[in-house]
Amino acid sequence: MAVATTDEDDEPVIEQLVPGVAKALSPLARRILAPNPGVFTGPGTNTYLVGIDEIVVIDPGPADDAHLDAIVGCGGDRIRWIVCTHTHEDHAPGVAGLKERTGAEVLAFGNRDGLKVDRRIGDGYTIDATEFRLQAMHTPGHASNHLCYYLPEERMLFSGDHIMDGSTVVIRPPDGDMAAYLDSLAKVRAIKRLRSIAPGHGRLIENPYDVIDWYIEHRHVREQAIYDALARHGTAKIDDLVPEVYADVDEERQKIARHSMHAHLIKLAAEGKVTGKTLTGKWSVV
């Protein structure tokens, strides 16, 4: 979903993501990839440094000394703020070590999952630096405490796990909420003249509206497939439906997809279309 450049023969050139190396994405934004690739993290967690004279670090990632040293090597004593999109283990554990190295102020939605903040922030909060303004947007869905950050000077959205490059997002109840997630997608879709999305995982997305529209359409299509499959069965458990609805993904990812299916079914239950509650219990069409 990211836009690739081309070589002299007009063949697509896919950017190679290298951990520990600072990559300039724009005049104000740099990215450093953490060395934590995996099923949930793709190539790893992206840490972003925004600003030149004063720097805000977005998502320090895991508590990996080499990664934190790379962040400090790039930003040094100009790092004034550390912000988190959310408190999942691939995004926030590095905060404490980075604060120890820099003394920067820690800002996030609140204290949770071991994260301790100096300032709790929410929707509309802005960091006003000498060269830029970074605005927080509360975007619950993947996590109830999820924040995206918008940089109007470059019309760039730092999306955390709200939107990722090359894959969809896992919504895992009870903290994950599919209805809230779709509302949050609509919220970022309403940003005017958005130029790019800097995701928590993967490459810079330079066709943001196309990707957001695909995300929304994908969720609607998947939800309809879940409803249709349950209607065919009448009554079924999630584990019975997953291989049918998620036949397009491998078995390992089907284990993850069952959580997003649960989130879709909870949404459908709230709309009065199905009955059921739990991940392992039975669900039925009304």
* pLDDT score, position 16: 85
- Give me the pLDDT at residue 204, please: 98
Q: Is the pLDDT of residue 121 over 80?
A: yes
pLDDT grade, residue 2 (50/70/90)? very low
pLDDT tens digits, one per residue of 201-238? 999 999 999 999 999 999 999 999 999 999 999 999 99
pLDDT computed for residue 210 by the predictor: 98
Q: In the chain, at which residue ranges do the beta strands (DSSP E only) sit? A: 5-6, 12-13, 23-24, 29-33, 46-50, 55-58, 79-83, 105-108, 119-120, 126-128, 133-138, 147-151, 156-160, 196-199, 235-237, 274-275, 282-285
Q: Which residues in the chain are classed under CATH 1.10.10.10? A: 218-285
The pLDDT of residue 4 is above 60: no
Report, as an integer, the average pLDDT of 32-53: 95
CA-CA distance, 280 to 286, in Å (whole number)?
19
Calculate the dihedral angle through the C-alpha atoms of 277, 258, 144, 219, rounding to the nearest 10 degrees: -100
Q: Check the CA dihedral 17-23-29-32 and report its sign.
A: positive
pLDDT at 61: 98
- Average pLDDT, whole number, for the chain? 95
Question: Across residues 107-125, what is the average pLDDT?
Answer: 98
Specify the CATH architecture of the domain 218-285: Orthogonal Bundle (1.10)
The CATH number of 5-206 is which of 1.10.10.10, 3.40.50.300, 3.60.15.10, 1.10.540.10?
A: 3.60.15.10
